[in-house]
Structure 1
Amino acid sequence: MNLSAPFVRRPVGTTLLSLGLVVAGIIAFFKLPVSPLPDVDIPTIMVQATLPGASPADVAATVASPLERHLGQIASVTEMTSTSSLGSARITLQFDIDRDINGAARDVQAAINAARADLPTNLRTNPTYRKFNPASAPILIYTLTSDTLTPAELYDAASTTLAQKLSQVEGVGEVSVGGGSLPAVRVELIPPALYKYGIGLEDVRAALSSANAHSPKGGIDVGDQRYQIYANDQARKAADYKPLVVAYRNGAAVRLTDVGDVLDSVENARTLGLSNGKPAVVMIVYRQPGANIIKMVDSVKGLMPQLRASVSPAIDITLAMDRSKTIRASLHDVEITLLIAVALVILVVFAFLRNARATLVPVVAVGVSLIATFAVMYLLGYTLDIFSLMALTVATGFVVDDAIVVLENIARHMDAGMSRLEATLVGTREVGFTVLSMSVSLIAVFVPILLMGGLVGRLFREFAMTITIAIVISLVVSLTTTPMMCAVLLRKDEGQPHGRIYRISERVFELMLSGYRATLGLALRHPLLVMLILGCTLYLNVHLYTVVPKGFVPQQDTGLLVGSIQADQSTSFQLMQQKLTRFIDIVKSDPAVDTAVGFTGGGGVGPGGTNTGTVFASLKPMDERKLRADKVIERLREPLAGVAGATLFLQSIGDLGAGGRSGNAAYQYTLKGSTFEELNEWTPKLVAVLQKEPTLVDVNTDQQNKALQANLVIDRDAASRLGITVSQLDNTLYDAFGQRQVSTIFVARNQYHVIMEVAPRFSQDPQTLKEVYISTSGGSASGTQSTNAVAGTVASSSQKSSISSVAANVVRNQATNSIGATGKGVASTGTAVSTSAETMIPLSSVARFEHGETPLAVNHQDLLVASTISFNLPPGVSLSTATTTIENAMHALGMPAGISGGFAGSAKIFQQALANELFLILAALATIYISLGMLYESYIHPLTILSTLPSAGVGAVAALMLSHTDFDIIGMIGVILLVGIVKKNAIMMIDFALDAERQRGLSSRDAIYEACLMRFRPIMMTTLAALFGAVPLMIGLGEGSELRQPLGIAIFGGLILSQILTLYTTPVVYLYLDRARLWTQRRRAARRARRAAARAT
């Protein structure tokens, strides 16, 4: 039965079927979502809880740990990390990649509800959670600047108007606003003035709270009309608060301006954003999982004119970073690479056929196969990304093979004298099984990848499926459209004279064939030498695999850099402003940098601490800067190191990320222990060792346990004698130094706050604490804190200032006794406005201060205390070298058994992928063997075909080493592809040889000899087609080429060496295994004969 016959005899129907596939593919191409990489969403949920004023250690003990105990019981949690900082806890749960994120969210909510009974009773709100993707990178960054408006007004416009509208755009997942804070009324109190009037801080807070109200008031009915009651009960601006009466002294009103300054300012004065050195508010736009990035960016840009018109014209909105530029450029370059690959393949086919009509047949086969693949990709929900287009580029060399084999065989029969129809039917029937064998065995290579789990499996599943789809469509086209076109287009060679180019190329091919004929005979006469060469390739495979530098994925050059600033742990905000400004100036001064944006402090993005910050840099296009991103970072490293007291860790923004805790560098190593003390002792030791290693750069740790602390030691007896509670002490300090929100202002579009603290000059030196006084108000003011609270911070210009010297013990006791004896003053009633002087007790009378150290953050991982060491790689150093360096350092230090270490994030995935590499290759070999064994119904012939693979492995790894390219997962996919490519040569030889033995009774030696010569032309054509299809990938021109190069290098190197060796090793192995088969058959026959003779006797 000839499956191609109906299609050959119905050319119109076959043509329309092919056109239908092409039209469907073209429509799907324009509907496919565009993304830099396949949509890989790691199910991750972040839980957040706040306990204002609590220290990191208290947050870790009372908030994070109870939540972790309940959250850790959820199924499929692969990693749980937490960070406890001042007043807040953040717990990140990462689930197995196959876990449904919505089901995981329900489990998280249930765990939060169950943990509520174990959490502090004064936790103002329940913990909240949100879903996010750790691999998500910023897509757009806008900056807002103005020469006339304040930072508060810029931030208000960004968060209230712009961010809200941008969040509604299709494809936008999140809009974060940083570098500023919402407008607020700030009340900056003067402690000496408060003491002068005998007014306590809690009294001022009560007055401010009572002076601002916004409650329903009802209405009155007058006849047929109703009047709604309104009042000027809400104070909205600083001018409304300035005349506020906070107390009466001697019958005279004491107004707020008498004891402090009232300003229209911001909620958090300790934030700063910069754009190219100019104060700015930063808006960062992220995408939704699976969204079309190009469409999202175009929608956002299309909306911006309308948004600009909705805010003040004094606001300049600038696009500081656009990730879609490099995505567009990269996809454009991949598309060009695909077209170049198709053109090179067509040239290879034409060079061998030297006939335009014959060349048109594989051209149509390639076009239909590739274009129709887009239709299936759309149905499967895939994206148009670098990997899918790279898969189609590689598939170009595959899909043409089937058409070449069919075309070459039909042309050979026509040259032998058959008619076009007869040659088409006979030729297609002869090679139909060969084509099927090549395609099925090639598809079998990708089965292990399709079944591979984890992030790497999900990442390459789309790549493998895209190639598989193209191969299946090519198989169908080669048995339908290709024979039909051969029957219509091919012409017999009537002996007409050929051109000069034809004659020269034919002479070249005849010389190649004659040379191969002579060397093949030599190889068959010296089979042991050939087997020795084959044995050497097997050894070299093992040896080269053990010594080749290994990596995870090539470092992407997206044209965007991100940097984390880590300053000394006790750095004040005032000093941090200077550091950020200096870093921005240095980065912007580099000739390769187009825009530099940075921010520090709170405000919605970034780490939020006063000693940390974030910098984004957008590089100029590649044709303008010439240097790749890693070289730009290397050039910036030296000038950035000149900033004393702070470090900026730069890295290139990539599209692939993992791990619940972000670090200051691309790779992380996490230490876990049971006690803080042990971990705090050994982490700095390991960091010190690693910082001396030349194979690592930017080594740092997230361990922050050396911040300065002004520790309040309360004399409880004295405080009790004076009627002062610990809660009063905490609230007084929080009022003074905590930027306390004491009232809320409601307006139509947003809500703002009234912030109270002492004037800045009283919070910049610990010595000013002696000017803080406590009123004996009885603690009746609302909104008190729990104890064990961090009441605020002071910024010191000199860390050597002494607080313990504020009041000597003797003086303190004398003052306490004096105050207690006189009974001067009246205790506050807790009302909003007091009418008599309070009893004002200096803080030094009931407490003393000591210097100490406190952590700025407490980190946990899997319920254990943890610290993460981050590092980058210098140019030319592989990740495998770095991991070995760290493991050796761990062993050399001899850490106690209570501390364990392991790689995290990308480094962890690299180790998992490295452990699976050998398994994947072996699984591919096993799958091919099984599929070929089933097709040939033989245990022997699949071994002959698999004997072609060692040379391909050696060529691939050697090419990677010669080009100084790491053997990463991209290179590994290249090796697996080679497994499917190079065995085609053996399949074409063996099919012909087996047919010659069966049909014409040739000996195995004569059959394989003739097969090698007869299949030399299609072997050369298919191999060179695949080789030239990989050339554009190997050259690696344009944006994103670093991801494509390892694949092209591996395929190119593997094909060159395998093409040279397999032309000789395959026939020799075939003969040896055929002898083994015959020997086995003779033994079986002899055994059966002996049994028959035994039964006869």
Structure 2
Amino acid sequence: SFGGLALGVGLIVDNGIVVLENIIRLREEEGEDLETSALIGTKQVAGAIVASTLTTCVIFLPVVFMQTVSGLLFQELALVVVFALVCSLLVALTLVPMLSSRFLTVQKGMDNKKGKFQKFFLKLETKYSGILEKTLQHKPMVFVVTAVLVVGSFLLVPIIPVELAPQTDADEIDIDLEMADGTNIAVQNLYLKELEDIVRATLPMEDVEYFTTEVRDGRAEVEIAMVPQSERSQSTSDLAAEIRENLTGKVPGADIRVDAQSGLWILRRVFGGGGGEDVQFELRGYDIDKAYEIAQEIKLRVENIPGIVEVRAGRSEGTPEERILFDREKIADLGLSVREVAQVIQTNIGGSRAGSYRIGGDEYPITVRLQPEDRLGTLDIDNISIRTPDGGVIPVSSVIRKESGRGPEDINRINGQRVTNITANLESGIALGEAVESIQAELSDFPLPSGFTIVFGGEYEEQQKAADDFAMSIIMALILIYMVMAGQFERFLDPLVVMFSVPLAMIGVIPALLLTGTTLNIQSLMGMIMLVGIVVNNAIVLVDYINLMRREKNMPVLEAVIEAGRLRLRPILMTTLTTVLGLLPLSFGLGAGAEIQASLARVVIGGLTASTLVTLIFIPVVYITTDQLLEKAKAINWNPFSSTKEVELAN
């Protein structure tokens, strides 16, 4: 929600700027009194700002219904921005004209004592009118240059790294120490003491707030809380890399993993989404022992990929156990069953359940056991005797065979297939998408036996779901925006002209990502969705005013385009500037966790800046071109883009 407020700071003043600028222009240039200027000025732009506000609001509608992590992240942000924009629209249509009619100090007529800022805009408007007039004489060249810029931007997309969420410094380092199950607690504490000594020698202790340690069977976790990033000279990723290097081979018999928390670490904790590893994939197959062997081979390959560290494959060694294998043929020859032999062994070692006892609605099991001093352990199984149906007594050892080993702690299944998990972490600066592509390339020639498959999960799976969500959201946003504009213009052609401004945003988005070293992630994708609704606002204001010039002043189309461009240049540049400046502090990623919103801000700044500059030239060219095509179509009595009123009159 705070992110929504930060994003809305620059957007909420846009409507007020458009209304106030038009009121001032009428007062200065046409000499209208304050009340008339406020009334007419607001009326002239009311439709445009209502449409532009609605186009910005409707883009968030698909986001609200997302069911993935993206929805969880952006639902509150969307609601905050929408409510802020609706309130700003109400203020722009009511409070701004009322205050302007009473307190505006602008004098009638042209003021010769304009400030430097106003004189600058007057010169800029004159210069822009001249440039626009020349470009309208070279429309094919404008189309070619614009197409080259857009296509060139899309061609740069594959070189941008892809990940689920931007890397953030969470002021925390986690160390996971894993040993064989059954390891004595004293041995665990000894290993943990060695680990802590190495960590304390590696870290600048003035940067450490506290250590917390959790020890359980065969495993220990150390959480190191660091001081805020602004008070440290090194990032947690760099410190984690140093710890990892210093711990390598220093604690024998232990599998150690060091992780600097970043990205969606908060969501992992709140919603339990994964174990915290950067890369997670599954080896699926029915033979669990064969899967373990394959997983070890995959681990050896993945470990050789640069940037991938701390690879773990397969299940842990598990708990020590004694396996009892029955000689079924011999048991049958003696007239016994496997169940009878197993029950005798169970009774002598742990006892057997004889029934249950109910009282007060509760049920308690009844177990028959030997006296503690008579109970046998697994090593004494050979001393157990069993009576055969003919009255003879034989040792159990004659019909069983014992094996010592370790059993799996758990067996995971997905769709009936047993799953062996393989996980790894990434070095700082390595994007998730890049790492997965490297793993897929490394395993492309791996001889995977029949019946086994490799499926990537964890953050990569969530990343793919998010990409599908955002693709659908962009499509839905375009449809909703077109519907809003069709209702505003009451024509089918004008909204298409405005929609040409959407791909122009890519001219600024891709260079902004490349120049700032920003990845494609859910935040930058959300910025692109926002751009779909924001970049059309300038085109809406421009096209609406062109139609106003033609409708109320009966201007020829070329003159109307140039005049509307001149008059709307100032509000377009001012609204763009306020939005960009409002997002500028957010784009720097200053402060703890601020990096998470920086990607979104950079995308909007780059896309909006480029789109505005190109829109001021390209949209007038598109408008003139479509109008000329429409006139030619009318000449042969064919007009699929007629308004509803025109169709009714024709009928």
TM-score by length of 1: 0.51
CA contact (8 A) 1:650 1:665 kept: no
Aligned partner of 1:624 in structure 2 is 231
Aligned partner of 1:669 in structure 2 is 281
CA contact (8 A) 2:292 2:314 kept: no
Task: Confirm or deny that 1:410 pairs with 2:18.
Answer: no
Alignment match of 1:539 (pick from 138, 143, 151): 151
Aligned partner of 1:514 in structure 2 is 126
1:56-455 equivalences under 5 Å are 388-415=1-28, 416-455=30-69
Task: Say if 1:712 and 1:1000 are closer, same or farther in 2 by CA, change over 3 A.
Answer: closer
Aligned partner of 1:1071 in structure 2 is 624
State the shift of 1:516 in Å.
2.2
CA contact (8 A) 1:588 1:596 kept: no
Aligned partner of 1:1024 in structure 2 is 577
Task: Say if 1:725 and 1:438 are closer, same or farther in 2 by CA, change over 3 A.
Answer: closer
Distance 1:879 1:1061 in 2: 34
TM-score by length of 2: 0.83
Task: Say if 1:846 and 1:453 are closer, same or farther in 2 by CA, change over 3 A.
Answer: closer
Distance 2:273 2:502 in 1: 42
Task: Say if 1:1009 and 1:522 are closer, same or farther in 2 by CA, change over 3 A.
Answer: same
Aligned partner of 1:854 in structure 2 is 407
Q: Mind listing any 5+ residue stretches in structure 2 that lack a counterpart?
A: 352-367, 386-394, 641-651
Higher relative contact order (CA 8 A, sep 6+): 2
Task: Confirm or deny that 1:483 pairs with 2:73.
Answer: no
Task: Say if 1:896 and 1:518 are closer, same or farther in 2 by CA, change over 3 A.
Answer: same
CA contact (8 A) 1:731 1:784 kept: no
Offset from partner CA, 1:497-555 (integer Å, 9 cap, x none): 998xx633333333433332332223222211110122123313432333322111123
Task: Say if 1:600 and 1:661 are closer, same or farther in 2 by CA, change over 3 A.
Answer: farther
Task: Say if 1:929 and 1:412 are closer, same or farther in 2 by CA, change over 3 A.
Answer: same
Aligned partner of 1:598 in structure 2 is 213
1:23-38 equivalences under 5 Å are none
Task: Say if 1:401 and 1:527 are closer, same or farther in 2 by CA, change over 3 A.
Answer: same
Distance 2:638 2:459 in 1: 59
Task: Say if 1:859 and 1:424 are closer, same or farther in 2 by CA, change over 3 A.
Answer: same
Task: Confirm or deny that 1:656 pairs with 2:267.
Answer: yes
State the shift of 1:577 in Å.
2.2
- Which AA in structure 1 matches 2:245? E
State the shift of 1:598 in Å.
1.4
Distance 2:172 2:511 in 1: 32
CA contact (8 A) 1:727 1:784 kept: no
Aligned partner of 1:548 in structure 2 is 160
Task: Say if 1:779 and 1:1023 are closer, same or farther in 2 by CA, change over 3 A.
Answer: closer
State the shift of 1:480 in Å.
1.1
Distance 2:59 2:110 in 1: 45
Instruction: Give SS of 1:694's match.
Output: coil
Aligned partner of 1:645 in structure 2 is 253
CA contact (8 A) 2:501 2:535 kept: yes
Offset from partner CA, 1:193-217 (integer Å, 9 cap, x none): xxxxxxxxxxxxxxxxxxxxxxxxx
Aligned partner of 1:615 in structure 2 is 222
Instruction: Give SS of 2:598's match.
Output: helix
CA contact (8 A) 1:391 1:467 kept: yes
Distance 1:613 1:714 in 2: 38
Offset from partner CA, 1:452-471 (integer Å, 9 cap, x none): 33332243222212211111
Distance 1:975 1:1021 in 2: 21
State the shift of 1:853 in Å.
4.3
CA contact (8 A) 1:587 1:593 kept: no
Distance 1:701 1:511 in 2: 68
Aligned partner of 2:591 in structure 1 is 1038
CA contact (8 A) 1:706 1:853 kept: yes
Instruction: Give SS of 1:1075's match.
Output: helix
- The two structures, once aligned, show a CA RMSD in angstroms of 3.6
State the shift of 1:970 in Å.
0.4
- Which AA in structure 2 matches 1:411? I
Distance 1:585 1:1077 in 2: 79
Task: Confirm or deny that 1:869 pairs with 2:422.
Answer: yes
Task: Say if 1:406 and 1:507 are closer, same or farther in 2 by CA, change over 3 A.
Answer: closer
Instruction: Give SS of 1:697's match.
Output: strand
State the shift of 1:426 in Å.
1.1
Task: Confirm or deny that 1:634 pairs with 2:211.
Answer: no
Aligned partner of 1:912 in structure 2 is 465
Instruction: Give SS of 1:613's match.
Output: strand
Instruction: Give SS of 1:922's match.
Output: helix
Distance 1:655 1:993 in 2: 49
Task: Report which of the two has the higher share of helix.
Answer: 2
CA contact (8 A) 2:166 2:521 kept: yes
CA contact (8 A) 1:559 1:629 kept: yes
Distance 2:578 2:49 in 1: 16
State the shift of 1:616 in Å.
1.3
Distance 1:892 1:846 in 2: 47
Distance 2:595 2:639 in 1: 61
Distance 1:662 1:975 in 2: 28
Alignment match of 2:296 (pick from 679, 684, 687): 684
Offset from partner CA, 1:562-588 (integer Å, 9 cap, x none): 332223567544432222222233334
Distance 1:584 1:948 in 2: 58
Distance 1:967 1:547 in 2: 10
Aligned partner of 1:902 in structure 2 is 455
Aligned partner of 1:934 in structure 2 is 487
State the shift of 1:438 in Å.
1.0
CA contact (8 A) 2:295 2:314 kept: no
Q: Size of the alignment, in residue pairs?
A: 598
Task: Say if 1:660 and 1:894 are closer, same or farther in 2 by CA, change over 3 A.
Answer: farther
State the shift of 1:477 in Å.
1.2
| Identity of matched residues, % | 26
Q: Mind listing any 5+ residue stretches in structure 1 that lack a counterpart?
A: 1-387, 602-609, 736-777, 793-802, 807-811, 818-841, 1088-1097
Task: Say if 1:732 and 1:626 are closer, same or farther in 2 by CA, change over 3 A.
Answer: farther
Distance 1:555 1:1013 in 2: 44
CA contact (8 A) 1:690 1:699 kept: yes
Distance 1:934 1:621 in 2: 51
CA contact (8 A) 2:32 2:108 kept: no
- Which AA in structure 1 matches 2:215? T
Instruction: Give SS of 1:576's match.
Output: helix
State the shift of 1:1034 in Å.
0.6
Distance 1:451 1:1076 in 2: 40
Instruction: Give SS of 2:312's match.
Output: strand
CA contact (8 A) 2:350 2:369 kept: no
Aligned partner of 2:566 in structure 1 is 1013
State the shift of 1:816 in Å.
11
Aligned partner of 2:362 in structure 1 is none
Aligned partner of 2:77 in structure 1 is 463
Task: Say if 1:701 and 1:660 are closer, same or farther in 2 by CA, change over 3 A.
Answer: farther
Distance 1:434 1:662 in 2: 47
- Which AA in structure 2 matches 1:1007? A
Aligned partner of 1:1095 in structure 2 is none
CA contact (8 A) 2:27 2:34 kept: yes
CA contact (8 A) 1:587 1:596 kept: no
Instruction: Give SS of 1:657's match.
Output: helix
Distance 1:731 1:598 in 2: 41
CA contact (8 A) 1:588 1:594 kept: no
